[in-house]
């Protein structure tokens, strides 16, 4: 998989002089900072890359409800329950805006969901890790939504109009998600020694999977270079990971928790932290379907879809009947 992403001489980003006139005009629009709208010309590669990226993003929002949904009934107070419920519901909304954005590119929601269910399309590998304790819900909000914000804020400036507009609302909600997670961490870290230990344990388990959320270093990736030229991607994975570490380390300190990295140190010269890379073998294993919860997550989504089949069928029949009724009605007199 990774090998396919390595840049080769024959497989590189074209420059303007090598492009067809349509593609050149398209690239020039992007370079001027214009937004591309659904009915306008776009190269097939741009359309396909966006369908993959927006589709995976939508799937991640939907599958991402599972590890937290798991805790709604077990949240420690009614207030925490209501907050978590609202957060998980927001994620469903994010999934829906994104499926709609993908649909403007000529792919149906059913097709995308079919690809997810058959394992042909991925979602973020972070959601294949279990949430074992209430502190994990804190760590997920703080770190996972935190990493998501880091990724998504620049995407508000992405070149495809519907994706960029969906990101504006999503980012607002994500900051609420991150705060609710950090708030849980504060309570736990300031609680009993057992609660503080739970908070530390959650940080230990979610730290490296959160760093993996930015993807492997993209220096050698031709996909990344092309996506950046198209402004589908604005920053490199390494830039975003660095920003995330620099933002999160002081927050961990404030909690009185230790980031599980003995090589973590402030580097005065680069004005950022030096830190250990996550275990990329683990990342590719999880991506390949062998993480702790991959099978469980996919099975839950497929079951939800199958259990809701009667409802989709009912809606489809109702929509057809309504259409026939409309077609039979005489047009209103002018």
**In the 8-state DSSP scheme, what is residue 216?**
S
In the complex, minimum distance from the CB of residue 71 to Fe ion, in angstroms, rounded to a whole number: 14
Q: Which of the ranges 94-102, 255-263, 276-284, 325-333 carries the binding residues for Fe ion, by CB under 5 A?
A: 94-102
In the complex, minimum distance from the CB of residue 143 to Fe ion, in angstroms, rounded to a whole number: 11
In the complex, minimum distance from the CB of residue 309 to Fe ion, in angstroms, rounded to a whole number: 26
In the complex, minimum distance from the CB of residue 40 to Fe ion, in angstroms, rounded to a whole number: 28
Of residues 68, 91, 103, 261, which one binds Fe ion by CB under 5 A?
91
Is the Cβ of residue 61 or residue 103 nearer to Fe ion in the bound state?
Answer: 61
Is the Cβ of residue 143 or residue 199 nearer to Fe ion in the bound state?
Answer: 143
Give me Rg for the CA atoms of the chain: 22
Is 94 near Fe ion (CB under 5 A)? yes
Q: Which helix (H) or strand (E) holds 266?
A: strand 265-267
Is the Cβ of residue 177 or residue 205 nearer to Fe ion in the bound state?
Answer: 177
Q: Which residues pair with 8 in a beta bridge?
A: 11
In the complex, minimum distance from the CB of residue 281 to Fe ion, in angstroms, rounded to a whole number: 28
In the complex, minimum distance from the CB of residue 57 to Fe ion, in angstroms, rounded to a whole number: 9
Is the Cβ of residue 94 or residue 223 nearer to Fe ion in the bound state?
Answer: 94
Is the Cβ of residue 49 or residue 124 nearer to Fe ion in the bound state?
Answer: 124
**In contact, 233 and 239? CB cutoff 8 Å:** no
Is 136 near Fe ion (CB under 5 A)? no
Cα gap 214→283, rounded to integer Å: 11
* Cβ-proximal residues to 304 (8 Å cutoff; 6+ apart), any chain: none
* Cβ-proximal residues to 57 (8 Å cutoff; 6+ apart), any chain: 98
In the complex, minimum distance from the CB of residue 232 to Fe ion, in angstroms, rounded to a whole number: 19
Q: Which of the ranges 1-9, 177-185, 189-197, 260-268 carries the binding residues for Fe ion, by CB under 5 A?
A: 177-185
183 to 80, 179, 283: CA distances (angstroms): 10, 6, 28
Is 177 near Fe ion (CB under 5 A)? yes
In the complex, minimum distance from the CB of residue 91 to Fe ion, in angstroms, rounded to a whole number: 5
Is 59 near Fe ion (CB under 5 A)? no
Residue 33: exposed, middle, or buried by beta-carbon count in 10 A (0-12, 13-18, 19+)?
exposed
Q: How many residues does the chain have?
A: 334
Q: How far apart are the first and last CA of the chain?
A: 62
Q: Which helix (H) or strand (E) holds 198?
A: helix 193-212
How many residues bind to Fe ion according to rule CB under 5 A?
6
Q: Which of the ranges 57-65, 129-137, 281-289, 311-319 carries the binding residues for Fe ion, by CB under 5 A?
A: 57-65
Is the Cβ of residue 61 or residue 218 nearer to Fe ion in the bound state?
Answer: 61
Is 57 near Fe ion (CB under 5 A)? no
Cα gap 209→212, rounded to integer Å: 5
Q: Which of the ranges 45-53, 144-152, 252-260, 279-287 carries the binding residues for Fe ion, by CB under 5 A?
A: 144-152
Is the Cβ of residue 174 or residue 218 nearer to Fe ion in the bound state?
Answer: 174
Cα gap 160→164, rounded to integer Å: 6
Of residues 68, 103, 136, 145, which one binds Fe ion by CB under 5 A?
145
Torsion angle of alpha carbons 144, 149, 151, 154, nearest 10°? 180
**In contact, 30 and 36? CB cutoff 8 Å:** yes
Question: Which residues contact Fe ion (rule: CB under 5 A)?
Answer: 61, 91, 94, 145, 174, 177
């Amino acid at each position: 998989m990774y090998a396919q992403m390595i840049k080769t001489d024959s497989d590189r980003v074209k420059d303007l002089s090598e492009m067809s006139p349509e593609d050149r005009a398209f690239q020039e629009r992007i370079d001027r900072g214009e937004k591309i709208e659904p009915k306008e010309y776009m190269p097939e590669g741009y359309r396909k890359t966006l369908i993959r990226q927006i589709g995976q993003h939508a799937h991640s929002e939907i599958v991402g409800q599972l590890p937290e949904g798991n805790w709604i009934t077990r949240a420690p107070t009614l207030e925490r329950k209501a907050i978590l419920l609202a957060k998980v519901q927001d994620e469903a909304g994010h999934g829906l805006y994104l499926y709609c954005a993908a649909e403007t590119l000529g792919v149906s929601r059913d097709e995308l969901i079919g690809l997810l269910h058959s394992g042909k399309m991925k979602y973020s590998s972070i959601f294949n890790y279990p949430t074992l304790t209430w502190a994990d819900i804190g760590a997920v909000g703080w770190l996972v939504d935190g990493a998501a914000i880091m990724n998504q804020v620049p995407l508000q400036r992405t070149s495809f109009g519907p994706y960029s507009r969906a990101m504006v609302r999503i980012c607002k909600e994500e900051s609420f998600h991150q705060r609710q997670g950090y708030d849980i961490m504060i309570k736990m870290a300031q609680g009993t020694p057992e609660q503080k230990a739970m908070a530390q344990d959650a940080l230990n388990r979610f730290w490296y999977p959160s760093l993996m959320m930015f993807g492997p270093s993209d220096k050698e990736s031709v996909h990344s270079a092309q996506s950046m030229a198209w402004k589908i991607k604005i920053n490199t994975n390494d830039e975003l990971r660095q920003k995330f570490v620099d933002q999160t380390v002081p927050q961990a300190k404030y909690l009185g928790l230790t980031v599980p990295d003995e090589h973590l140190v402030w580097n005065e010269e680069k004005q950022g932290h030096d830190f250990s890379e996550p275990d990329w073998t683990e990342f590719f294993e999880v991506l390949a379907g062998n993480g702790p919860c991959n099978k469980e997550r996919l099975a839950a989504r497929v079951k939800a879809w199958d259990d809701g089949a009667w409802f989709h069928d009912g809606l489809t029949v109702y929509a057809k009947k309504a259409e026939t009724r409309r077609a039979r009605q005489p047009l209103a007199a002018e």
